Amino acid sequence: MPPRASLGAFLARARSALTAPAPQRASPLTLVVGNESADLDSLCSAVVYAYLRTHAPPHTLHVPISNLPRDDLKLRTEMTAALAHARLAPDDLLTLDDLPADLAPRDTRWVLVDHNALTGDLAARYAGRVVGCVDHHADEGAVPRDTGHNEPRIVETCGSCSSLVVEYCRPAWEALADAEAEAGGDADVDAHLARLSLIAVLIDTTNLKSKDKTTDKDVAAVSFLERFVPAPYARDAYFDEISAVKEDISSLSFRDVFRKDYKQWEDQSGGGVSGGRQLLGTSAIVQNLDYLVNEKAGGDEQQLLREFRSWAGEKGLDIGVIMTTAHPDGRLQREVLVWAFNEGAVASCKAFYERFKGELGLAPWRGGRLDETCEGGEWRAAWTQANIAASRKQIAPMLREAIKGGARL
């Protein structure tokens, strides 16, 4: 058996296949893509799933796509740090900018990781070509129940999507590792794959210490992955290193802070509280509102509000949301700021508050300093969140339910 390709060589092969002239391009081409926030879990899940599926029978090339423009990779400093542990650099990754303009939907098959419904421009063009998914979010019902394309449809509760990828690919991974060992091959590839998967799981579960997020599947994944990582390796040190990089947003502009971990969703039903369509955008930020006001805005809370209004205007939002996560004194803290920019959005946001304030344990932030009912049909409120178990994965469906005026997705 010839030695397996390194991760770098695999990504180079994937790039060549994707960017080849149309007559020379394989058809259909199988692409693996994470969600639009393009966080560690999405990026690592796509690379690891694509590599392992490519090297397992029937050896169909899977091309991992990072769901963001190439220029936005520089915002993912934690991904740069994680890639270094796998002897990779951001330039090795494929992004939305690498998708050929002439890549016809009929010539593609899409596998989704860390989400189960395509969004944005990808959805407009390729939604009908999704053939499988591995995800840990609420099931939106967009992926066919019977994929029939030799790809899984896995939507399960788990701390990290990477844990589900590891569980699904584990038999193939073990077979590859055993064959490599018998042939006297280099175990570096497995160590690099394991490093990428490990950090995604550890970050998403707070080093397996989050009681609300960590599941048995996450624990099993970490136990399996650490078999491949040679000494010197220390789980806590690895987690601390990447966490410190992730939480340092001091060099980012406000616009970059808002777009670093951003997701949006549009109600297409026309049957929401306001009777019309609404566009919801959520920015997850790894520092709290005190930091944003006092450090980023130099104590000027109006600057924070001006910057967020500008971002919401750029994205054309009806509802803009900031969700913060911080660890003052080592304790997990969450906050939510919701801003409705028109009367229909105000109705939806007030419905969200009335319905879920008890479940989320919402209380005015700093006595309501950021709250305001504005002229022109706007409404804004910021809260501390006592229910720290609820992240965007839980709160976004609540907001969407309030917009739709129906059952929680």
Where exactly does CATH 3.10.310.20 map onto the chain? Answer: 250-404
pTM greater than 0.85: yes
Average of per-residue pLDDT across 193-219: 96
pLDDT for res 148: 74
pLDDT at 300: 97
Closest CA to 161 of 41, 3, 256, 270: 41
User: Residues in the chain, how many?
Assistant: 409
Question: In this model, does residue 360 exceed pLDDT 80?
Answer: yes
Average pLDDT over residues 185-196: 90
43-102 tens-digit pLDDT:
999 999 999 999 999 999 999 999 999 999 999 999 999 999 999 999 999 999 999 999
* Residue 273 confidence (pLDDT): 47
The CATH fold assigned to 7-246 is: inorganic pyrophosphatase (n-terminal core) (3.90.1640)
Average pLDDT, stretch 209-227? Answer: 96
User: What phi and psi, each to the nearest 5 degrees, are found at residue 264?
Assistant: -135, 160
pLDDT of residue 81: 97
Report the mean per-residue pLDDT for the chain: 93
Other CB atoms within 10 A of residue 68 CB: 24
Among the listed residues 176, 396, 408, the one whose alpha carbon sits nearest the alpha carbon of residue 265: 396
- What pLDDT, on a 0 to 100 scale, did the predictor assign at position 217? 98
Is pLDDT above 90 for 277? Answer: no
Report residue 147's pLDDT band, with 50, 70 and 90 as the boundaries: confident
134 touches 49 (CB < 8 A):
yes
From-to residues of CATH 3.90.1640.10 in the chain? 7-246
CATH of domain 250-404: 3.10.310.20
